[in-house]
Amino acid sequence: MSWSKVKQQLESFLSPALLGRFEYRATGYRYLPDKAGLCYIAVDKKNVFNMRDVTTSIRWYQTEQEIKSDPHLEIPITKEEIEAVRQETKGLVPEERLHVIARGRKISELAKELLSAQASLSKSNFIVEANQFLSLPIEESLESKEILFNILALVDRRVGKKRILNMSEKIKVKHPIVQYVYELRLSTL
């Protein structure tokens, strides 16, 4: 499907509160038909998402250690995760350390997922991913580990106020661009 048709379909699903603020843009190479253009997302006429571009204001992680040391990343730990650590250590670890161990394990898993999602995103084609998003149910896109699917689903009009408000805990462990789009959508409710 051509870029203009994909853009038209994506914009038809855009939340009414974001119309005029959230845009899908693309550059094309008129004389180089074999070279794909660059697709990006702009908010208030400012480029905020350009698949791994260093000029964007959203933080892209380079290493697992960067993710672990990011003070803005909140990692919610459940009682079940703490209990699993307690079971593994057979109760030999002090209570206050159980939380630290559980958080360390969870953040390591999260770091690997985030880096993997970033790597696959930088290699992907926006138009192909957008076409795939348009064919998926919105629930799958919201739950997906794919950053682009999360973004497109968050700005979708089929995602209502109640669902957006209920997602606050899940969003804390998502990539900063997904958190940014979530905050943008939250501000329009």
pLDDT band at 120 (very low <50, low <70, confident <90, very high): low
What is the value of pTM for the model shown? 0.70
pLDDT higher than 90, residue 163: yes
Give the bridge partners for 14, in sequence order.
156
How high is the mean pLDDT of the chain? 82
Of the chain, the percentage scoring pLDDT greater than 90 comes to 28
User: What's the CA gap between 155 and 151, in Å, rounded?
Assistant: 7
Range in 15-29, 128-142, 170-184 with the lowest mean pLDDT: 15-29
User: What's the CA gap between 141 and 33, in Å, rounded?
Assistant: 31
Residue 121 confidence (pLDDT): 63
